[in-house]
Homo-oligomer: A and B are copies of this chain.
Amino acid sequence: MTKRIKISLDAMGGDYAPNVVIHGMKIARIKLPYVDFLLFGDLIKLKPLLEQCPELTNCCQLYHTDKVVNNNDKPSHVLRHGKQSSMWLAIDAVARGEANGIVSAGNTGALMAISKHLLGMLHDVDRPAIAGFFPTERGKSVMLDLGANIDCNANNLIDFAVMGEMFARIIFNIENPTVGLLNVGSEETKGNDSIRATASILRQCNLPLTFYGFVEGNDIASGTVDVVVSDGFTGNIALKSAEGLSRLYTRFLRDALLSSWISRLGYLLVRSALRKVELKTDPRHYNGAVFLGLNGIAVKSHGGTDAIGFANAICVATELIVHDFNDRINQELDHIKTVRELSSKVITI
C-alpha cells in the first residue's frame, strides 16, 4: 500500500489563484488518491470554490490567512514582512514536518528565499538551483538552473551538475544519466571562463558522474544528454525561448488547419494524432520546477499555468516524496563530499 502523503499548497500564488490551485488539486487527486492537502489562503475566496468540489472535502485541511506575497514583492521585503502570507505558512508546514512538500505558483524569488530560510540548505551546497523537465526526442531531460542564479562560477555549476545527475537518476530511474554543459559550441575552447573551468574540472575529477562535455542549444530538444547544466540566466532564456517557439508552432498549425475546407476536413481525421503531439510538447505537462539544494521538497509551478499545469506540479512534488528524494540526495552528497575532497587534493597536487 502506498504511504499517505501530505502536500501543502500556497493557494494564493500565481496569476489565476486560487481558482487554478483548487482545480489543479482536483485533477491531481484523481491520479494520486493517496495524497492529502494542506491549503493556505483566504477562506472567503477558497470556500465557494471548494463547495463546488465535494470530492476534496475529506482530503484537504484549510488554514486561513488573508496575507499574500505579490509578484512584485522583493524577497528581502517578504522575508521581513511576509510571515503571515499563504506562501510562508505553506513552506513552514514542511519545515515543521506537517507536510512532505510544498507547491506554489507564486513569486519565484520569494519562494526561494523563504524556502532557504525555513527549510535550510543541503550540506556543502552554496546555492539552490531550479531544475525543470524538457521534452526531447528520447523522452524527457532535466535542465538546471532555470533562473535562481544569474551569475554562476565553476563551483556553482559543478554543484548543479552533481545535483542534476542525482535528480535524473532518482526521478527517471536510470543508472548513469549523462550530464552536459550548455555552451555555444562543442569544442574545448568555446564559452566563457567559468564554463571552461567547470568542464575542465568535471573531466579531471573522479566524481561518479558521466560528463558528456559541452552541448549546444539544439541538443536540449534532441536529448543528447539526460541533464543539461547552465547558469540561471542562460537556462531561463533557453527554456522560455523554446516554450515560445512551441506556442508559435501550435498557433501556426491551428491557423493553417483552419485555412481551407479541405484542411478542416483533414483536421477531423488527424485530431487525435495532433493531441499526441500536444501531450508531448505542451508546457503544462512539464510544469513543476524543483528547488534543488534545499533541505526539503519545494516545487514551483509556472505562475501563468492552468489547472492541468498546476496538477502536474503537484505530481512532480509527489514523485519526489515517493522516491524519498530528500533523504537520498542528502546521503549521496555526503559521499560526493568525500570524493570531492580527494579530487581537490589531486587537482592541487
Number of residues on chain A facing chain B (CB within 8 A): 63
| Chain B residue, CB-CB nearest to A224 | B244
- B136 x A248 contact (CB < 8 A): yes
- B187 x A72 contact (CB < 8 A): yes
Interfacial chain B residues near A184, Cβ < 8 Å: 147, 150, 232-233, 236-237
| Complex Cα–Cα for A271 and B273 (A) | 14
| Complex Cα–Cα for A263 and B151 (A) | 48
| Complex Cα–Cα for A248 and B250 (A) | 13
Tally of this chain's copies: 2
Interfacial chain B residues near A245, Cβ < 8 Å: 220-221, 242, 245-246, 249, 281
| Complex Cα–Cα for A151 and B183 (A) | 13
CB distance from A246 to the nearest CB of B (A): 6
User: Is A191 engaged at the interface, CB distance under 8 Å to the other chain?
Assistant: yes
Among B192, B232, B247, B281, the residue within 8 A (CB) of A221 is: B247
| Complex Cα–Cα for A259 and B277 (A) | 11
| Chain B residue, CB-CB nearest to A263 | B273
User: Is A50 engaged at the interface, CB distance under 8 Å to the other chain?
Assistant: no
Q: Name the residue among A221, A245, A274 with the largest chain B CB count within 10 angstroms.
A: A245
User: Is A182 engaged at the interface, CB distance under 8 Å to the other chain?
Assistant: yes
Q: Looking at the complex, which of A83-91, A163-171, A211-219 is the stretch in contact with chain B?
A: A211-219
Provide a sorted-by-A list of 30 A–B residue pairs whose CB atoms are within 8 angstroms.
A137-B251, A150-B192, A151-B192, A184-B233, A217-B236, A218-B240, A218-B243, A221-B245, A222-B247, A222-B248, A230-B237, A238-B238, A242-B242, A242-B244, A245-B249, A245-B281, A248-B281, A249-B277, A253-B253, A253-B274, A253-B277, A257-B270, A260-B272, A262-B272, A263-B270, A263-B272, A266-B266, A266-B270, A266-B271, A266-B273
A residues engaging B (CB < 8 A)? 72, 74, 135-137, 147, 150-151, 182-184, 187, 189, 191-192, 216-222, 230, 232-234, 236-249, 251-253, 256-257, 259-260, 262-263, 265-274, 276-277, 280-281
- Nearest 10 A-B pairs (CB), nearest first? A217-B240, A266-B269, A218-B244, A221-B244, A266-B270, A217-B241, A263-B273, A256-B273, A242-B245, A238-B241
